[in-house]
Amino acid sequence: MQDRYHRKINYLRISVTDRCNLRCVYCMPPAGVKSVSHGQILTIEEIAEVVAAGVPAGISKVRLTGGEPLIRRGVLELVAKLRAIPEIDDIALTTNGILLEKMARNLKDAGVDRVNISLDTLKPVRYREVTRGGNLDQVWRGINTALGLGLQLVKINTVVIRGFNDDELEDMARLTMEHPLHVRFIELMPVGTSENWARGRYIPSSEVRELITGALGNLTDENRTLGNGPARYGRLPGALGTVGFISAVSDHFCDRCNRLRLTATGQLRPCLFSHRETDLKGALRSGADREALTRIFQSTVMSKPDRHHLETDRPQHDRVMSQIGG
């Protein structure tokens, strides 16, 4: 359905768990976030019911995220349940890739169309540093497995961090020359606990683009959108894949926003940076029927703000990225 600003809202990002097997420096504090108890997290059946209730309000595309979605017990069952909803025509997943080698085949068989894999560096030591302990080899095995399975689109998410990976952006972009990968450079957002950490480390997409085109040649604009997101894509000369830019801070693509977010604890949010949320879990557990849940979707769509004000406002601190679902 359309919101007050004439945007078509059809996409739901679902955080299936607030837990993670990594602790990326920009996403979580060193000790991790205090996980909520299992009882507070939506069950697999509840998530599927919430999505079914979103359908009459216009939801037709979903993304499973977290935390790390692949550590959520029952994630395959969830994918199968979502696949069984005829109106849902796109099921995507964002993962750190650590468990992907093992799970990719089953995910595809259950109905996942596309995967995004987060990878901020090509250097094993740096990878261990930024993720506080991750093993880069495992991620590469996951990426290669996903490519081998012929999943429609395999995208790499790279958060650009000054003084950390700004000397590797060219190498990351070069991956698209040899592999049908879509490498997306994401602006570091001052969100949740990473706000202080992010200060001084942010690099705007315009600078990343200049660096890449200076080193590797012009990017030909790819007009088709790849998936449901706000990235702008270009192709290097002769490349198999594309390079994308997600300029969440510098180019508020809010005028093209199509999404709502569901937190692991069952709160429906109109916007990543809004602190407004509606308690779908409470409604569900107190016996609300599907129509009542659909009405919550509809009122959340109508409460979407026009845009974020990250350039001037301090973000809301109530949750970190892994809890909202990045």
Q: Which does 307 bind (CB under 5 to 8 A by kind): ligand SF4, ligand SAM, none?
A: ligand SF4
Asked if 97 interacts with ligand SF4 (CB under 6 A), we say no
Asked if 202 interacts with ligand SF4 (CB under 6 A), we say no
Asked if 227 interacts with ligand SF4 (CB under 6 A), we say no
Distance separating alpha carbons of residues 278 and 146, to the nearest angstrom = 35
CB 269 within 8 Å of CB 277:
yes
Asked if 197 interacts with ligand SF4 (CB under 6 A), we say no
Who contacts 94 (Cβ-Cβ below 8 Å, separation ≥6)?
Answer: 63, 64, 65, 66, 69, 115, 116, 117, 118, 157, 326
- Of 227, 251, 244, 243, the C-alpha closest to 61 is 227
Phi, psi of 232 (to 5 degrees): -105, 130
* AA identity, residue 53: A
Least Å distance between CB 270 and ligand SAM? 19
3-state helix, strand, coil in the chain (%, to 5): 35, 20, 45
Taking phi over 0 as left and psi of -120 to 50 as alpha, with beta for the rest, 287 belongs to left
Least Å distance between CB 237 and ligand SAM? 27
Q: Which does 257 bind (CB under 5 to 8 A by kind): ligand SAM, ligand SF4, none?
A: ligand SF4
Q: Which does 186 bind (CB under 5 to 8 A by kind): ligand SF4, ligand SAM, none?
A: ligand SAM
* AA identity, residue 179: H
* AA identity, residue 1: M
C-beta atoms surrounding 230 within 10 Å: 20
Closest residue (Cβ) to ligand SAM? 326
- Of 155, 147, 158, 37, the C-alpha closest to 101 is 147
Q: Are strands 242-246 and 232-235 parallel, antiparallel or unpaired?
A: antiparallel
Residues forming the site for ligand SAM (CB under 6 A):
20, 26-27, 65-66, 68, 94-96, 118, 157, 159, 186, 188-189, 191, 194, 198, 321-322, 326
Asked if 67 interacts with ligand SF4 (CB under 6 A), we say yes
Q: CB under 6 A: which stretch of 20-28, 106-114, 146-154, 282-290 binds ligand SF4?
A: 20-28
Segment 256 to 275, residues that bind ligand SF4, using CB under 6 A: 257, 259, 271-273
Least Å distance between CB 186 and ligand SAM? 5
Asked if 92 interacts with ligand SF4 (CB under 6 A), we say no
Give whichever of 69 and 241 is closer to ligand SAM, judged by the CB atom. 69
Q: CB under 6 A: which stretch of 75-83, 137-145, 234-242, 247-255 binds ligand SF4?
A: 247-255
Report the interface residues with ligand SF4, using CB under 6 A: 20, 22-24, 27-28, 66-68, 96, 118, 252-254, 257, 259, 271-273, 305, 307-308, 321-322
